[in-house]
């Protein structure tokens, strides 16, 4: 059996191959995305679909970049992020198109055209769309629960899923705008691309918060957190869709509520980053006796500028190998702190904890050894003025036997 790659260790996999459920999810999402785009082509033609795609992409690319910036301190696996984006733009879109269309036709026969259109937009669509998007988060909770370490992870996965949905949905809206009056087209561009581009990511983020709570806590509250997050997503979505019937005043109220929710999300993200930094400063000093970590390393790991400066310093002194080694060391140390947090909340089995801890420590040692193979006589790093950094400690100073014992709650 071949040695695990750093990425496999960081993701907690037992092999270097992509997991089968992940491959199946990506394939299904891709097929659904192609089906959705094929349906659009049937509706409006290839040229109109391409035009709608060109109009929808800039906003989506910008927002994906912002979400990835949020995810820098403890980045999620790239294929998982791709699955979230693809699920929203494929599975959720196809599911919503089918269920919303069928439900709309049934309501027309019962309520008539006008009331049925409003009921579909304000009631049916929010429930259906947030359920299909939320299904991806439930899948991650069941299959890769250990990848969700806190509110930031829940928000990141949910936002990408919602963004994938919004991207493909916006193509359809822009197609309709292109074929309609010029004034309606520009209004569509402003509303969908400028005024409210965060709608779907914001709605689904509420579900993401509930799922994140369920992934990091024990007890019956987990179920209510997931259901409560989903209900919040549905209600916020319904508020926006239903506000259109009340004209400009309704839109202003809905926009104000969404703005408040957005501010709350930003506060949660900031607090969660501080929590993660606190975990690093709380748990990593216990590994100082082992020689793998020193107080200077803890300070370096606690800030994004410090991490970036350390990678730059490693690249200058040891090239790409040194930069990759430093990156692996930083991510492994962060995962180690999060692993201890799970142990303290008893959301990981003790045997699984020790197995994963050994793998992470092995990666930290391997990263250090890779650096020294590239640069045998490493100069002291600038962030360790009075002490030797654990990463750059001379060979032979690492005491692997002295590891902290972590009690588990029962």
Confidence (pLDDT) at 165: 97
- Using 50, 70 and 90 to split pLDDT, how confident is the model at 303? confident
Does residue 244 sit in the same domain as residue 390?
A: no
DSSP 41-63: HHHH-HHHHHHHHHHHHHHHHHH
List Cβ neighbours of 341 (8 Å cut-off, separation of 6 or more).
Answer: 149, 279, 283
* DSSP strands (E only) in 90-189: none
Q: Which domain holds residue 303?
A: 291-410
Give me the pLDDT at residue 141, please: 94
**224 and 327 inside one domain:** no
- 330: number of CA atoms within 13 Å, CB side? 27
- Last residue of one domain, picked from the residues 280, 313, 335: 280
- CB of 118 within 8 A of CB of 242? yes
Region at 3 (left for phi over 0; alpha for psi -120 to 50; beta for the rest): beta
pLDDT over 50 at 229, yes or no? yes
At 248 the pLDDT is 78
pLDDT in tens, 305-363: 889 998 998 898 888 888 999 999 999 999 999 999 999 988 898 999 999 999 999 99
**353 and 274 share one domain:** no
Provide the sign of the torsion angle of the four alpha carbons 34, 40, 43, 44, taken in this order. negative
User: Is 143 found in the same domain as 114?
Assistant: yes
Tell me, yes or no, whether 1 lies in a domain: no
Burial class (CB in 10 A: 0-12, 13-18, 19+), 70: middle
Same domain, 21 and 155: yes
Are 243 and 251 a contacting pair, CB within 8 Å?
A: yes
Q: Are residues 65 and 179 in the same domain?
A: yes
Per-residue confidence (pLDDT) for residue 82, from 0 to 100: 97
CA atoms of 170 and 124, how far apart (whole Å):
19
Note whether 142 and 101 are within 8 A (CB): no
Same domain, 82 and 190: yes
In whole angstroms, give the CA distance from residue 159 to residue 198.
9
Lowest-pLDDT range, 159-168, 212-221, 290-299? Answer: 290-299
Total domain count, the chain: 2
Question: Residue 395: its pLDDT value, please?
Answer: 53
Q: Which of 248, 280, 312 is the last residue of a domain?
A: 280
Examine residue 286 and state whether it is found in any structural domain, yes or no. Answer: no
* Statement: residue 95 has pLDDT above 90: yes
Question: Within this chain, do residues 239 and 331 fall inside the same structural domain, yes or no?
Answer: no
Q: Which of 280, 314, 345 is the last residue of a domain?
A: 280
User: Where is pLDDT greater, at 275 or 177?
Assistant: 275
8 domain residue, yes or no? no
102-148 confidence digits (pLDDT tens):
999 999 888 888 889 999 999 999 999 999 999 999 999 998 888 89
In this predicted structure, what is the pLDDT of residue 406?
59
């Amino acid at each position: 059996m071949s040695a695990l790659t750093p990425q496999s260790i960081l993701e907690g996999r037992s092999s270097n191959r992509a997991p089968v459920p992940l491959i199946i999810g990506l394939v299904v999402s891709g097929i659904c995305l192609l089906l959705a785009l094929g349906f659009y082509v049937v509706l409006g033609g290839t040229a109109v679909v391409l035009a709608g795609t060109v109009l929808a992409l800039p906003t989506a690319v910008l927002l994906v970049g912002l979400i990835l910036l949020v995810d820098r301190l403890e980045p999620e696996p790239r294929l998982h992020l791709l699955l979230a984006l693809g699920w929203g733009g494929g599975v959720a879109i196809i599911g919503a198109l089918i269920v919303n269309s069928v439900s709309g036709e049934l309501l027309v026969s019962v309520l008539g055209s006008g009331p049925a259109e409003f009921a579909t937009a304000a009631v049916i669509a929010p429930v259906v769309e947030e359920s299909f998007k939320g299904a991806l988060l439930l899948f991650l909770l069941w299959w890769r629960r250990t990848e969700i370490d806190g509110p930031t992870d829940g928000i990141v996965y949910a936002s990408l899923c919602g963004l994938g949905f919004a991207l493909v949905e916006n193509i359809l809206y822009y197609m309709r705008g292109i074929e309609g009056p010029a004034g309606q087209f520009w209004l569509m561009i402003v509303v969908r691309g400028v005024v409210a581009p965060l709608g779907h990511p914001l709605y689904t983020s509420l579900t993401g918060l509930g799922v994140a709570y369920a992934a990091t806590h024990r007890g019956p509250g987990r179920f209510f957190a997931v259901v409560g997050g989903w209900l919040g997503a549905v209600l916020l979505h319904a508020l926006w869709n239903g506000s259109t019937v009340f004209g400009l005043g309704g839109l202003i109220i809905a926009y104000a509520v969404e703005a408040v929710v957005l501010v709350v999300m930003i506060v949660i993200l900031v607090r969660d980053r501080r929590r993660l930094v606190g975990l690093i400063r709380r748990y990593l000093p216990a590994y100082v006796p082992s020689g793998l970590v020193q107080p200077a390393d803890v300070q370096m790991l606690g800030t994004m500028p410090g991490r970036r400066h350390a990678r730059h310093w490693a690249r200058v002194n040891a090239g790409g190998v040194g930069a990759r080694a430093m990156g692996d060391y930083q991510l492994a140390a962060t995962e180690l702190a999060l692993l201890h947090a799970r142990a303290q909340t008893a959301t990981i089995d003790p045997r699984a904890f020790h197995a994963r801890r050994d793998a992470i420590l092995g990666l930290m040692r391997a990263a250090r050894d890779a650096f020294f193979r590239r640069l045998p006589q490493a100069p002291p790093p600038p962030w360790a003025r009075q002490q030797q950094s654990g990463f750059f400690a001379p060979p032979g100073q690492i005491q692997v036997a002295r590891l902290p014992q972590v009690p588990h709650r029962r």
